[in-house]
Homo-oligomer: A and B are copies of this chain.
Amino acid sequence: MVERPALSKGEVEVARVLWEIGPATVRAIHDAVSRSRKINFATVQTYLRRLQTKGYAASKLDGRARVYSSRAKAQTVIRDTVNDLVERLFAGESMPLIRHLVEDRGIDESDLKELRGLIDRLESEQGKTP
């Protein structure tokens, strides 16, 4: 139940990469982030340092390279971040966001299929755990 300061947008981006490619060097993380947008090496380094300061990451030296690893579960960060967004942008209701994602942002056929399966499962569970 560690209380951690919220993450900024840039930090979230780097944190995500950290879960994705697991413990990794600054270089590897920079390379990964660079794939989606141009970003300075030192900037990534700063984000990682801040991530560590805030308690979301840990690091150790492996030879000359510093290897960062995540200390926070992706799910926790996702939950907190999404909760905050839903609270502020949708007054706490998630349905409008779901609607937006499905209708406005669009969803492809296979995702639609998966979503249907998800609903089927939830609906069959409904009533069992009231």
Contacts and interface: CB of A to CB of B under 8 A. Distances in A.
Interface of A: 9, 12-13, 16, 20, 36, 75, 77-79, 81-92, 94-95, 97-105, 107, 109, 111-112, 114-116, 118-119, 122-123, 126
Given A99-B118, A119-B119, A126-B109, A81 B91 contact: no
Contact of A89 (B12, B92, B104, B116): B12
Given A79-B104, A102-B119, 11 more contacts: A16-B90, A36-B91, A77-B89, A78-B89, A82-B97, A83-B105, A86-B105, A94-B101, A94-B111, A95-B114, A116-B119
A75 B91 contact: no
A38 to B, nearest CB: 14
Nearest to A97: B101
B119 A88 contact: no
A16 to B, nearest CB: 6
B101 A98 contact: yes
| Among A20, A36, A88, A109: residue with most chain B CB under 10 A | A88
